[in-house]
Each structure stands twice: as structure tokens, then as C-alpha cells.
Structure 1
Amino acid sequence: DFERLYAVACDPRIWEQHPTPTRWQRPVFENYFAGAIESGGALRVHRAADDQLIGCTRYYALDLAASVVKIGYTFFSCDSWGGGYNPACKQLMLDHAFQTLERVQFEVGQCNQRSQIAMARLGARRLGVSEVAYHGEASHPNVVFEITRAQWQQR
């Protein structure tokens, strides 16, 4: 699956606002992919109409005691932007998470305006900014968002 996913991820436009804007480069993406596999929560995203692989996302940092999981590390092919795939994907993931958990959090690069707008549209509440180190990378400031089960059910 690495080659198929990298064929999507190698477009530099995907990573322009990301804290790691070089993720389109193969060695940098190899690190991302290793983190995805190690997380145990990575998901490929396929377009239903033609089964084309268009991106990737994941659950991570599951904390059962606190009843919270994080969703992130998401990217989509540029040709799928604006097609409703990201909100549909997040809706499926949130519906699944809220079957057993009370909270879902998202960590979004502080410079990633596209994803911050997407979080607001999803109804996520901004909690603040924290330093986050992606798998094998330096830390960067990230805006932390959260949605509770009650908020999600009231939408």
C-alpha cells in the first residue's frame, strides 16, 4: 500500500499549510507511513464511485480511562478537495468513536488554515495551542480542537 498511497501524497500542494511541508518527499513520507502503521489506527480512504485511493487518516492516542481518542494525520488528493470527502470521512469516524467514547480531539498545525476551517465546520471547539511532535519529527505548535459525544449528537 505504500506505493499507492505515496502516489497520492507526493503532490506538494497537499502539504503547503502543514507543519511538515516536505512530507511530499519520499523519505519524509516514509516516516509518516511508518507512524501510520505503528499507530494501529490508520485508514485508507477510497472514493466509492471508482474505488480510487484518495487519502489517508487515522485514530491515535486512544485513552480509554479518559474516554478520548484523537483523529488526524489526514490528507486527501488535491483532485478530491471540495468533493465532501473529508467531512464525510470525519462523520463516519466520529460516529464510530462515539459508540464507546465521550470525546474526540484533533491536533491541527497552527499554520494549517484549511484544516482549522474544516474543524469549525465540523462543530469542533478550539481548546488551545500545544506543541506536538509528529512521529519522528520536531515539535510544532498545533491548535487542539475537541468534540464531545453530546455535542455530536445535538448537531
Structure 2
Amino acid sequence: MQPIDTSLLRGRHLYLALLTKEYEPQLRTLARDERLWEFTKTLLINDTYDAQFDAYIAKAYGHAGADGQAFVIHRTSDDAVIGMTRFYDGNEEHKRVNIGYTWYVPEVWGQVYNKECKLLLLQYAFETWGLQRVGFEVAHQNLRSQKAVEKIGGTREGTLRKFMLRPDGSVRHTVLFSIIDEEWPEKKAKLFSMC
């Protein structure tokens, strides 16, 4: 994928900044809220939290470059950090990328932020990179995130059964969603109306 121009990832309510080391202390504190990981079990809030967070951030940096990018989400009204998101598993040859690993501090859940964040990322994927598919992979128990993807226009494609094991050893099935380029103009208009 081509390098990211973050000036194109700024909306009315939020803007995205590239993940850098300077953000790590603040993100470590914000991500400690166990409500964020209720369904994914990505980070378990226990005595190994710091080691888990270090691995989580290392993976986020691993998504920077040819196949994606990790972002820190800022609220425009006060520049507060309110979460993270990523492009990942990008493939320029096949014109696709996934959006995921998205989380927000609970105080902003249900507000406009996720809709605008996805609008900015989808717009970048389809209009700047010229991709034909954006995918979303959601844990089967995470009904809140599944509903959020449906609200932004994602089409449910199916479920990958027993797709992975979560950090606590439990099985995760993965629900697949996508938006494709032919659908983008209609989905974009809907998202704009919601932001």
C-alpha cells in the first residue's frame, strides 16, 4: 500500500494520527478498561497486562507498512485520545484491505465517532488507494461490533467457525463483513448523513 497521508483522515468530530511510541503510555492506561475486551479477550486485565499490552502494540506496529497502518483516534474538540484502529492485511495486487482492531473509550460509545472514523478510512481505501474491497472480521460474541459494522453498511458474508483461540484459550468464531467498491457511493452517502 502507498504511504498514508493523514491530512485526509480528519473529520468534523475526530482525526487519525499514526501510532508512535509517544502514545504508548496513554494508550496503555486507556486500554486497561476491561469493558473494551469483554468479547475479544485481546487484553486480559491481570498481572500480565503490561506484557500483553506490549505484544498488542508490537503487532500494531507490525501492521504498519506494506499491508496496513495503526492509528490513534483523537477527538477534534479537545484533541483527547479516544481509541485506536487499523488498516491490516492489505493486498495491493488483489485491491483489498481490512479495517479492525478498533476500540474506543466507553465514554464515547454509541456516539458519532465510530461512524466518522469508518467513513474516513473507507473513503481513503476506495478513493485514495482505489481498492475494490474492505473487509471487517468480528468476534462472534461481539454483537455490539457486529451491529456497528452493519450500521456503517457492511454486508455479512458468513462465519469462519473455530477460526482462532483467544488469549484466555477460548474458541473464537469470526464473522466476516465487507463493503465493495460498487456499493461505496451509496454507503458513503449514508455515512455522511449519519456524521
User: So what's the TM-score if we normalise by structure 2?
Assistant: 0.73
Code of the residue aligned with 1:123 in structure 2: it is G
**Distance in 2, Cα, partners of 1:139 & 1:64:** 31
Equivalent pairs counted in the alignment come to: 154
Aligned partner of 1:92 in structure 2 is: 120
The answer on 1:46 being equivalent to 2:71 is no
The answer on 1:68 being equivalent to 2:96 is yes
**Distance in 2, Cα, partners of 1:64 & 1:138:** 33
Aligned partner of 2:53 in structure 1 is: 29
The answer on 1:123 being equivalent to 2:147 is no
In structure 2, relative to structure 1, the CA distance for the partners of 1:59 and 1:53 (3 Å cut) is same
**Distance in 2, Cα, partners of 1:139 & 1:34:** 23
Aligned partner of 1:152 in structure 2 is: 184
8 Å CA contact 1:46, 1:53 repeated in 2? yes
Q: Matched residue of 1:71: which SS?
A: strand
Structure 2: stretches of 5+ with no match in the other structure:
1-22, 188-195
8 Å CA contact 1:19, 1:109 repeated in 2? no
8 Å CA contact 2:43, 2:53 repeated in 1? no
**Distance in 1, Cα, partners of 2:38 & 2:83:** 16
Q: 2:142 aligns with which of 102, 109, 112?
A: 112
**Distance in 2, Cα, partners of 1:133 & 1:58:** 21
Give 1:112 deviation, angstroms: 0.5
In structure 2, relative to structure 1, the CA distance for the partners of 1:125 and 1:101 (3 Å cut) is same
**Distance in 2, Cα, partners of 1:27 & 1:89:** 28
Give 1:133 deviation, angstroms: 6.8
Identical-pair percentage: 35
Code of the residue aligned with 1:20 in structure 2: it is T
Q: Which has the larger radius of gyration?
A: 2
**Distance in 2, Cα, partners of 1:138 & 1:65:** 34
Code of the residue aligned with 2:26 in structure 1: it is R
Q: Over residues 103-136 of structure 1, what are the superposed CA-to-partner deviations in whole Å (9 max), with x where a residue is unaligned?
A: 10000011100100001111111111221578xx
Give 1:16 deviation, angstroms: 0.9
Q: 1:140 aligns with which of 166, 172, 191?
A: 172
